[in-house]
Amino acid sequence: HPTPYTPHPTPHTLHPTPLLPAPMSLSDPRRQKQLKTLVEKLGLSADVPVRWDLLDLALTHPSISRDKNYEQLEFVGDSVVRLAAAEVLLETYPEALVGEFAALRSMMVSDRTLAEFADRYGFERYLLVSSSTSIDRAGRISRLADAFEAVLGALYLSTQTMVLVRSWLDEPLREKAAEIRRDPARQNYKDALQEWTQATYKKLPQYLVKEINGLDQERFCAEVWLNEQKLGVGTGRSKKAAEQAAAKSAFLEVVKG
């Protein structure tokens, strides 16, 4: 069973940087209370050194303010969640190959997964959005994933360590990794394969699709290539389906090593 996360000494602890601004209460006590409730939902105590101003910003959609919103924190949080996922995978599956790590992580940090995590902790009720944006159901997954990453960015910057992140994020990340390994057929193999090829070769795979004359419904055949080597073949009713099937064939070979 994986051991709970305990932070290792970081450059910040070995060579202290100037003191971070002390966490200050927000001017709006109602908003402050909301954010404290969210922090407690994450399993953190209400007195942890959270930068409340950053957390407030992390839950402010660009439709509310063009210049004071979550976009910069989302940029930081994108790296934070990828690092957290990498560490969880290394600790949980120390014998796995790098190719499997890359493929698993691409699914663990996808917008759909991060939106699931945001729903798990009820982020939507704390996210400030314009009324016109809130009724845009098509953009909901993207909004929640962006806000989730931004919150991770705010928590990381509060202490400049992973302490306020991994103490609660490890569990859902570990559960998602196990779910993907149990049932990989539900996953997006094109994204997974791309993550692996970029991590391993710094290149994107190429897909060649042709229409085939057959009596069945599998009208298209796709091949996926990398470095002049055919990695996989697949068929489907559409070009996209054929590419996904080819990516699945290639990805499963990658995981097997």
Please give the Cα distance from 43 to 41 (Å, whole number).
5
Of the residues 100, 146, 149, 195, only one is catalytic, namely 149
CB contact burial 157-172 (16+ within 10 A = b; e otherwise): bbbebbbbbbbbbbeb
Q: Is 149 known to be catalytic? A: yes
Angstrom distance (rounded) from CA 117 to CA 80: 15
**What radius of gyration do the chain's Cα atoms show?**
21
What is the spatial distance between Cα 232 and Cα 196, in angstroms, rounded to a whole number?
A: 14
Q: Which of 200, 184, 177, 208 is nearest to 94 (CA)?
A: 177
Q: Is 88 exposed, middle or buried (0-12, 13-18, 19+ CB in 10 A)?
A: buried
Question: Pick the catalytic residue: 78, 195, 223, 243?
Answer: 78
Give dist(CA 193, CA 199) in Å, integer.
Answer: 10
d(CA 202, CA 150) in angstroms, rounded, equals 27
For 214, the enclosing helix (H) or strand (E) is none
Catalytic-residue membership of 175? no
Token digits of residue 133? 């944006």
Give 128's DSSP letter.
Answer: B
Instruction: Show which residues are catalytic.
Output: 78, 149
